Amino acid sequence: MRLIFFILSLVISNLIYSQLNLELKEKYTSNWSISDKKKLENADRYYSNQEYLFARPIYDSLYKAHKSNLYISYLLGSCDTYDSRYHVNSEFLIKAAESIKSDLVDYDYFLGRAYEFNNKEADAIIQFEKYKLNPLNKALKDEVEHQINSCKNSILFEKKSAVAKVTNIGAPVNSSGSEYTPVFPSNESFMVFTYRGEKSIGGKQLLPNKINEKYGIYFEDIMISYKNDTNNWTEPKHLNTLNTSGHDAVISISHDGQKLFIYKNIGIGNGDIYMSKLNGLNWSIPEKVKGINSNFWEGSMCLSPDEKIIYFSSERQGGYGGRDIYFAKIMPNGTWGNVKNLGPEINTKYDEDAPFIHSDGKTLFFASTGHNSIGGYDIFKSEMKHGKWSLPYNVGKPVNTAQDDKFYVVSSDGERGYYSSEKKDGFGQQDIYMVEPGLFGKPTALVMVTGNVTYDNKPIKADIFVRSKLNRKDFSGIFNSNSITGNYLVNLPSGNEYEIVYRYLNTTITKDISTAKIDSFAKLEINSELFSDEFLRLNYAKVDSSDLKPDDFASIGLTEDELFSKFGNTVIDSLYYSVQIGAYKLIENFNYSKLIGLPKALRKTFSDNITRFTLGSYNNLNETVMMLSKAKKNGIKDAFIIALYKDKRYYFKELINQHILK
């Protein structure tokens, strides 16, 4: 039987005694029916084990039948502090039992929690300080002191201005169930996340050794949603090849979207990390990742952009306390090795989890209950500087709250971040939220290269080798295009020179890309078309066209500037302009490197069997001239303007002689 991945949302593992006062219980429930007493026994069993979310619905049903019962009000309020949907009620329910608080050992603690989660941190500190006056053991006293510090940190963050806008992404992704651990490839074309709710495969189920009653739980499933043409998320669907009737949870995806990592606990050990590969349109059967799994818990991870380093969280011995973040390097045999702790700059005596390395390869986000957390897990950020990770800083409110805020991921352009959190405005217990900007105002400098690879005009799974040409900035990796679509994605950090080799069978094409002068995010589309010798012999000439030239303006009787000035704002039906940047019979000869920072290059093959590469489509010359200037500034010196009238190419001389331009 698989154990729940997000078990902390159901079974709270803290050091509070959760003691029940048997005398109060007898006093306030002696006249209850046998049925209600049996329900109470079941709820009390959960409560004593600190399984508050199992206990809560039972206490709630008893409270509805006995609303004047102070003892049940207190127990329900205590459980409500562990579910953001009921935080508002928790304070009222607990304070209702104030007259009997001297008989409730944990009263001050739970009232402190209620204050904390209702943004009354100063009041929470007072209650926690009162609770510390009890004869507590050292571990419990340290735990309460930690919560006091979290409240103090929260008060300090109130004085800092908001750095980002946080929005619930809403339906159809978020629902009355729980949605968490969002992951997506760098281009945000789709999102995979973990879901637990009414649509879970297998329905409500009982955990082993739990009371046989109606209060079961939904198991976790892996869901996928796609970005549509209007930039909205589509209705999520189950990833059927990965889901079972047990718990299945996603934890990470490679930057190119080809490798999906999931967490499994199949009853042996404490949970391990598995990997599934995208083969065409289907995900493969997950296989255990070799080299990082141990006899201890490993439950979250991410890959560096070049896929040479894996960062993961583990509870293995030898760390700084609780969960720590480690890293390992890829070995020649494909396994992971040379595992090392990320060090005291990142890890604390508390828990660190959910690492994410941005596409730039030097920005780390992770979740921690240590450092200067304002409560539960908070999102922290660190940057690689001079070979070391900088001191992490809390990204602050409104991203972080007194609840758990985890699994932060950011798009390549840095414009959007996504994470899961329990907030009062949520649709369910956990929802997925979007943060704008994702990098909190810091620009990202990289080139996201996308496109597709074909062989004899058919999509293929090609090997794509990326290598840094500057030895002092080593970046290399092997990627693949999708076997069905031919699509691929590679992120190239700035300040470097790269060689990209596309290989299929015995055929290769090499492209040189420079990011040396890139100081912001840029997209570059490279469609790599490989051909067999036989296909080329039958379909293509051996040399590029050399007879395609721009207009001879002298023959028009106008200079180029005079032509643009006279007809700059003229708009004619069915007449459009583009900036031509290349014309080839062998399109693999096209140089993509100079397109960085320019719009997507359009490609069209005309009746002369020559493929033209153009930028933009405009209905007036003035806008076209602006694009021409940008192209030449990028180093495309031979760029010129072409005219298309009723989808046929015309020279300006023809447009004037045929009175199309008047």
Give SS3 for 176: coil
d(CA 130, CA 109): 8
Output the pLDDT for position 272. 85
Whole-number pLDDT of residue 416: 94
Can you tell me the distance from the alpha carbon of 396 to that of 382, in angstroms, rounded to the nearest whole number?
Answer: 14
pLDDT band for position 539 (cuts 50, 70, 90)? low
Query: Which pLDDT score, from 0 to 100, does residue 286 have?
Result: 92
- Confidence check: pLDDT of 175 > 80: yes
Using CA atoms in the order 285, 286, 289, 293, what is the torsion angle rounded to 10 degrees? -140
Question: Across the strands, what pairs with 503?
Answer: 463, 508
As given in the structure block, the two tokens for residue 278 are 């995208």
pLDDT at 181 over 90: yes
CA dist 229 to 183, 189, 240, Å? 20, 10, 25
Q: pLDDT category, 43, cuts 50, 70, 90? A: very high
Instruction: List the domains of the chain with CATH numbers.
Output: 7-157 (1.25.40.10), 165-436 (2.120.10.30), 446-539 (2.60.40.10), 553-657 (3.30.70.1070)
Closest CA to 432 of 184, 216, 202: 184
Distance set, CA 364 to CA 347, 358, 390 (Å): 13, 6, 10
The helix (run of H) or strand (run of E) holding residue 615 is strand 611-618
Could you tell me which residue, 553 or 117, shows the higher pLDDT? Answer: 117
| Dist CA 292 CA 273 (whole Å) | 8
pLDDT of residue 51: 87
Residue 536 phi/psi, 5-degree rounding, is -65, -40
Of these ranges, 426-430, 551-555, 593-597, the one predicted with the greatest mean pLDDT is 426-430
Please provide the size of the chain in residues: 662
- pLDDT tier, 474 (very low <50, low <70, confident <90, very high otherwise): confident
For residue 1, the model assigns a pLDDT of 29
Neighbouring C-alpha atoms within 13 Å toward the C-beta of 567? 23
**Cα 384 to Cα 124, 363, 496, distances in angstroms:** 37, 6, 17
Residue 332, CA distances (Å) to 293, 335, 406 in order: 18, 7, 33
pLDDT at 20 (0 to 100): 83
pLDDT-derived band at 549 (thresholds 50, 70, 90) equals: low
For the cut 90, the answer to whether the pLDDT of residue 552 exceeds it is no
What is the overall mean pLDDT for the chain? 87
What pLDDT sits at residue 546? 40
By percentage, how much of the chain surpasses pLDDT 90?
58
* pLDDT computed for residue 595 by the predictor: 80
- Give residue for tokens 């998320």: 233
Q: Name the residue with tokens 């103090």.
A: 152
**Structure tokens, 415:** 């414009």
Residue type, 267: G
Tell me the pairing of strands 521-525 and 446-455. Answer: parallel
Region 398-426 average pLDDT: 92
Largest CA distance in the chain: 107
Identify the pLDDT of residue 455.
Answer: 94
pLDDT band at 442 (very low <50, low <70, confident <90, very high): confident
pLDDT at 642: 87
Rounded CA separation 298/272 (Å)? 5
Q: Per residue in 335-384, pLDDT tens?
A: 999 999 999 999 999 999 999 999 999 999 999 999 999 999 999 999 99
Answer with the residue of higher pLDDT: 556 or 3.
556
Judge if pTM exceeds 0.85.
no
Q: How far is CA 621 from the centre of its chain?
A: 42
C-alpha span between 476 and 465 (Å, rounded): 7
State the DSSP string of 223-263.
EEEEB-TTS-BPPPEE-TTT--SS--EEEEE-TTS-EEEEE
Q: Are 328 and 368 in contact (CB under 8 A)?
A: no
The per-residue pLDDT for 146 is: 94
The CA-based dihedral angle spanning residues 325, 330, 331, 336, taken in that order and rounded to the nearest 10 degrees = 40
Question: How confident is the model over 64-107, as pLDDT tens digits?
Answer: 999 999 999 999 999 999 988 899 999 999 999 999 999 999 99
Query: How confident is the model over 2-20, as pLDDT tens digits?
Result: 333 344 444 444 555 567 8
Amino acid at 377: Y
Q: Where are the alpha helices (H) located in 81-183, listed in sequence order? A: 87-95, 107-117, 121-132, 138-157
Residue 359 and residue 366: Cα distance in Å, rounded?
A: 15
* pLDDT at position 325: 97
Q: Over the stretch 255-279, which tens digit does the pLDDT of each residue have?
A: 999 999 998 876 555 678 999 999 9
CB atoms within 10 A of CB 116: 27
Tell me the per-residue pLDDT of 302-332, one tens digit each, with 9 for 90 and over.
Answer: 999 999 999 999 999 999 988 999 999 999 9
For CA atoms 625, 629, 631, 636, give the dihedral sign: positive
DSSP collapsed to 3 states, 382-424: EEEECCEECCCEECCCCCCCCCCEEEEEECCCCCCEEEEECCC
Q: What is the number of H-type helices and E-type strands within the chain?
A: 12, 38
